[in-house]
Amino acid sequence: MSQTEDRFRGFCPACEAESDLTRHIGDADLTVDGQTVTVKVEYLICLKCGETFDDPQAEDPLIALYREIGQQREAQKPKVKSSIGDYLGLMFFAFATVLAGIAAWEHSTLLAWLSVLHNGLLAVIYTMRRPAVKVDQKGLLLGLLAAALPMASYPDAIPTWLLIPGLAGYALTMLSLLALGKSFGIAPADRGLVKHGPYKLVRHPMYLGELVYRCILVGSHLTLANTALLVALVIVQVARIKREERIIGGYEDYMQETRWRLLPGIW
């Protein structure tokens, strides 16, 4: 089946002169890798001698087909992540889990053991993260600092009136982590914008939950060293927030949908 597009003057290789030509579009079957594919081809017919020949201005359909197949295969290839980065990240969070476990063993409180669970889950999710479109390598240090900043000392017991908001902060952290899923990482990176779940309430709910949780621990065992480490953590998390917001695609629209970063009505 063919379709005539137009009639024009052009060079006919058979007549070796200009002649009236018509451009046609038809179907042709091409076999690629054992599979027959129907493609559109363009050809010219000379009205003077009746010769049919390829349109020199049209792209070779076979070349176009192979390029399309190549693009499809490239898109289907799994993105290669840095296995070294995966192992280092796993080792980092595994080490953090061990440290949290030691602290929980020495000062056995519910929040301390939940911290062990949290770090273990971070290790698992980190190895499952999707490849990033863009990564802020300079911000990697901030992520490592946020994860590694320990408390100088831990409480032996937590009052009930502090335990409840601590559990709320922990729950917010876990819900945010599950919503983040494969978009989680240490360095600020664009692994896809997450806007569902707790991310509808504030733009950085996981950081908010972590800070609430850490504030409760510090409030349960208030020392100058613990307070200094908490202030340092707040500074690091604020810096991470600002770097993340600059690198994630589509963030400007998200800022219009969800106004507040951490504390509704404040910041």
Distance CA 232, CA 150 (A): 11
Distance CA 158, CA 112 (A): 10
User: What is the model's pLDDT at position 80?
Assistant: 42
Q: Cβ contacts of residue 49 below 8 Å, gap of 6+?
A: 12, 14, 15, 19
Residue 235: what are its φ and ψ, rounded to 5°? -60, -45
User: What is the model's pLDDT at position 129?
Assistant: 74
Domains of the chain: 2-76 (3.10.20), 83-257 (1.20.120)
User: What is the model's pLDDT at position 37?
Assistant: 64
Which regions of the chain are under pLDDT 50?
A: 1, 77-82
User: What is the model's pLDDT at position 79?
Assistant: 46
Strand-pairing partners, residue 233, are none
User: What is the model's pLDDT at position 32?
Assistant: 58
List pLDDT tens digits, range 142-154: 777 777 777 767 7
Residue 126: what are its φ and ψ, rounded to 5°? -60, -40
User: What is the model's pLDDT at position 71?
Assistant: 57
List pLDDT tens digits, range 170-204: 889 888 888 888 787 777 777 878 888 898 889 99
